[in-house]
Amino acid sequence: MTESAPSELFAGKVAVITGASAGIGSGYARQAASLGMRLVLADIAEERLNGFAEELRQGGAEVEAVVTDVSDAASVEALAERAYARFGAVDMLINNAGIMAMGWSWEIPAEKWDAMLRINIGGYVNGLRAFVPRMLEQGTQGWILQTSSIGGIFPSPLMSPYSVTKFGTLALTESLHYELQMMKAPIQVSVVMPDSVKSDIFTAAKAGGTLPEAQAFNDALQQRSETAGITPEEHARRVFEQVAEGRYWVTPQPEAIDQGVVPRAEMIRGRVTPELNLGM
């Protein structure tokens, strides 16, 4: 594991961030700008993206804003073309764009399931397909960060599409890590495992129909993010510090993982039937 100060390691580098205009993505962008990185910000929300990009430019950052639908391979390919046309290289890819849906697994509409799979998994795959070949051709030191969640280790009721996609992110990222090791590529892969971060993701993920259990669970998660969550900026600061240390597992809030991962592993090893635990 190599270790460097983020400001020394990342200054002047080019970062592509998907889902960049709000929540965790905006925290990544602000932190990257504070480190002197040049930014390519991608989001499907055009007005919000352009406003945020202009805010960062006013603060002195070099920013290219690209309206992108990460679920569309052609749109992500166009993002890569814009990034290379503007800066000539990409040093860091942060796959982050994602959405949430809540409810009973069998009642969440098919179109919501499809959207989460296309965005939360397909969007990451599209990012890798568009950028990894270009980064390999560069042959320079690079970084790929993929945002999973503690929900990628601990499945949850009433948000199974999210659990499915965050588990999938773990598998995709670890496979990518092995593949780049096989190629001896100078690209570090990191999987980011947030716990609760202050954002409107739960407010935006209105539970389908009038299911009171899902709405109550949604409200509890939103309240937890507001009271116990860290800010997107603090999350990003911790992420960049750990990435600069050379970490694969990036855990900005390790407490929940540390408390739960051993009991979960023991449950699996002992073939113990899972028990419901909604402790927040």
Alpha carbon of residue 268 to chain centroid: 27
Beta-bridged to residue 18, according to DSSP, are 42
Say which of 124, 162, 178, 248 is annotated catalytic. 162
84 labelled catalytic: no
Q: Which two tokens stand for residue 131?
A: 């950028």
Secondary element (H or E) of residue 39: strand 38-43
DSSP-based three-state secondary structure for 236: helix
**Residue 112 Cα distances to 95, 107, 219, angstroms:** 20, 10, 20
- 21 contacts 93 by C-beta, under 8 angstroms: no
φ, ψ of residue 102 in degrees (nearest 5)? -130, 155
- Point out the residues that are catalytic: 162
